[in-house]
Amino acid sequence: AINIYVEQENGERVELEAPLDMNLSVMEVLKANEFPIQAVCGGMAICATCHVEVLQSGASGELPEMNDDEAYMLETLPHATDASRLSCQLRVNPDLDGLVVRIMPEA
Ligand code: FES
């Protein structure tokens, strides 16, 4: 498993454990840990209710490339920043170990 951190409004980081053998997305890990992520579309990159901001990338220092669907979706979001991602499009893998995210308002 790897660890993913969620930064709270007060700046505290909650550590989550994400198994590597279940092909989960970060969105699914957040939901499983009862964070208020709606994920209305179920991970299809068409609802943006899984929007997170990446405060720190994981072990590899890089995130997977965005596909066109994700990039298009993020362009439409008022709160999106250069560090925005759809958490349903981030697959849990060793490169993400230590990832720090903040859950965004649309979520
Ligand atoms: Fe809908 Fe990620 S769950 S865009």
CATH, residue 96: 3.10.20.30
Q: Which residues line ligand 1 (CB under 6 A)?
A: 27, 39-41, 43-50, 86, 88
CA distance 105 to 84: 12
CA distance 99 to 27: 13
**CA count, 13 A, side-chain hemisphere, 80:** 18
pLDDT per residue, tens digit, the chain (107 aa), is 999 999 999 999 999 999 999 999 999 999 999 999 999 999 999 999 999 999 999 999 999 999 999 999 999 999 999 999 999 999 999 999 999 999 998 77
The preferred substitution site among 30, 46, 101 for testing ligand 1, maximizing ligand atoms within 8 Å of CB, is 46
Domain count, the chain: 1
Domain housing 14: 2-103
Amino acid at 80: A
Ligand 1 centre distance from Cα of residue 16 (Å)? 20
Identify whether the C-beta of residue 64 lies closer than 8 Å to the C-beta of residue 70: no
